[in-house]
């Protein structure tokens, strides 16, 4: 169990770093095209892989609401305050309300927060699906196949008619498909059979480059706006790249840097855009391009600087917690 948790933490660490890097590099960069082809599916795959059905639907909703929706509102409020600090707020009250409550499926002052709402709905629907699943009497393998086909058809219809729903709900079936496949892979224990051997290395390296080539061939995708280009190719690219990084994670299950990135992943999701507002203010003041720069050296420097800020904050927080715990223990023993 510990070994499995280790590689999952490393995989999530990769995902957290890829999302940060994807946000700072230029929009036309091949690096961005590659990272956007799988970095969001990575997190939904892990969510599905770790999913456990909760028979009490109300308790499950309450648990996920605390974990995802409450942080959404907290960071949405903080982001709005920082946004108004650096920008003239010309939005009318209705537009602000729609943005704050994610009614149109977007948050104008912190676009990254869409992830919290979508994963909330994805996990709620997934739990409902598995509770219904227990009531259906035929064989499990047939049920799994039927659900996958239904999800795929729903996704194709949503894309064909360019459906847009409140709260960005049109994204949920796409991510539910990824999460559901993650659950099936865990259920069938396919990943337990992977041992990072020399034979696998000779297979993974070519697959890594195939994933890059196919991602660039399919072009830039964007999950938050339901842009997938060729949808079947998008799914293929996502799972090729996921498999590659699962193998890498199983090879290096104890990299502290990536484990810390995993611990910070949710906080990084919520606060990146807030940090970027400060970067944009520096850009305007000094007439330099820090974000989406055509110069890769600048982009990587901003990436490393941002990462360093997160790590410094993380280790300071850990030190403060340890200090107060130590003091509390000392107070109790006196």
What does the pLDDT read at residue 90?
Answer: 79
pLDDT band at 194 (very low <50, low <70, confident <90, very high): confident
Distance between CA atoms of 293 and 288, rounded to whole angstroms? 9
Per-residue confidence (pLDDT) for residue 13, from 0 to 100? 95
| Structure-block tokens of residue 329 | 């223990």
Confidence of residue 252 (pLDDT cuts 50, 70, 90): confident
Confidence band for 195, pLDDT divided at 50, 70 and 90: low
The predicted-structure confidence for 256-284, as pLDDT tens digits, reads as follows 899 999 999 999 999 999 999 999 999 99
User: Could you give the 3-state DSSP secondary structure of residue 125?
Assistant: helix
Query: pLDDT tens digits for 291-327?
Result: 999 999 999 999 999 999 999 999 998 888 887 777 6
- For residues 45 and 40, give the distance between their C-alpha atoms in angstroms, rounded to a whole number: 9
How much is the pLDDT for 282? Answer: 93
Is 290 strand, coil or helix? coil
Task: Tell me which residue has tokens 């999950």.
Answer: 223
Angle at 278 between CA 277 and CA 282, to 5 degrees: 115
Residue located via tokens 């055509």:
294
Residue 262 phi, psi dihedral angles, 5° rounding? -60, -45
- Model confidence at 1, pLDDT cuts 50, 70, 90, reads very low
3-state secondary structure of 51: coil
pLDDT mean over 154-173 = 95
Query: Residue 144 — pLDDT band, cuts 50, 70, 90?
Result: confident
What is the pLDDT at residue 304?
96
The whole domain housing 108 covers 2-333
The total of structural domains in the chain comes to 1
pLDDT of residue 188: 86
Mean predicted lDDT score pLDDT of the chain: 90
Mean pLDDT of 95-110: 92
Grade residue 2 by pLDDT with cuts at 50, 70 and 90. Answer: very low
Q: What is the pTM of this model?
A: 0.94
Percentage with pLDDT > 70 across the chain = 93
More confident residue, 63 or 253: 63
pLDDT surpasses 60 at 333: yes
pLDDT number for residue 203: 81
Share of the chain above pLDDT 90, in %: 73
Q: Which spans in the chain are helix H?
A: 2-24, 30-36, 39-49, 57-64, 70-86, 93-100, 114-133, 140-160, 172-188, 198-218, 231-251, 256-286, 296-333
Lowest pLDDT segment from 72-86, 199-213, 314-328: 314-328
Strand partners, 293: 25
CA pair distance 81, 14, nearest whole angstrom: 30
Residue 89 reports pLDDT greater than 80: no
Query: CA–CA separation, 103 vs 107, rounded Å?
Result: 9
User: Mean per-residue pLDDT for 59-82?
Assistant: 96
Whether residue 3 has pLDDT greater than 50: no
CA dist., res. 109 & res. 19, Å (int): 18
> Is it the case that residue 330 has pLDDT exceeding 70?
no
Kindly indicate the confidence band of residue 328, based on its pLDDT and cuts at 50, 70 and 90: low
Asked if pLDDT for residue 192 goes beyond 50, the answer is yes
């Amino acid at each position: 169990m510990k070994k499995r948790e280790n590689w999952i933490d490393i995989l999530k660490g990769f995902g957290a770093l890829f999302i940060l890097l994807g946000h700072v590099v230029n929009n036309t960069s091949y690096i961005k095209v590659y990272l956007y082809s799988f970095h969001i599916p990575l997190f939904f795959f892990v969510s599905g892989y770790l999913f456990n059905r909760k028979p009490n639907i109300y308790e499950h909703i309450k648990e996920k609401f605390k974990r995802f929706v409450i942080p959404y509102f907290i960071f949405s409020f903080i982001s709005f305050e920082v946004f108004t600090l650096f920008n003239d707020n010309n939005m009318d009250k209705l537009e602000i309300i729609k943005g704050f409550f994610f009614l149109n499926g977007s948050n104008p002052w912190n676009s990254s927060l869409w992830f919290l709402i979508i994963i909330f709905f994805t996990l709620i629907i997934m739990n409902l699906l598995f509770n219904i699943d227990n009531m259906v009497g035929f064989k499990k393998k047939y049920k799994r196949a039927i659900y996958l086909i239904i999800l795929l058809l729903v996704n194709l219809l949503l894309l064909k008619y360019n459906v847009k729903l409140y709260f960005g709900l049109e994204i949920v079936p796409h991510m539910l498909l990824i999460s559901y496949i993650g659950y099936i892979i865990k259920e069938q224990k396919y990943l337990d059979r992977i041992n990072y051997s020399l034979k696998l290395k000779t297979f993974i390296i070519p697959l890594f480059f195939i994933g890059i080539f196919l991602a660039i061939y399919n072009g830039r995708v964007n999950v938050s706006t339901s842009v997938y280009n060729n949808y079947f190719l998008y799914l293929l690219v996502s799972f090729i790249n996921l498999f590659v990084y699962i193998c890498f994670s199983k090879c290096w299950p104890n990299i502290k840097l990536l484990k810390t990135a995993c611990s910070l992943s949710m906080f990084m999701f919520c606060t990146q855009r807030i940090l970027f507002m400060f970067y944009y203010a520096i850009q305007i003041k000094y007439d330099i391009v820090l974000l989406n720069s055509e110069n890769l050296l600048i982009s990587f420097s901003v990436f490393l600087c941002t990462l360093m800020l997160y790590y410094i904050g993380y280790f300071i927080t850990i030190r403060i917690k340890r200090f107060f715990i130590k003091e509390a223990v000392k107070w109790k023993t006196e």
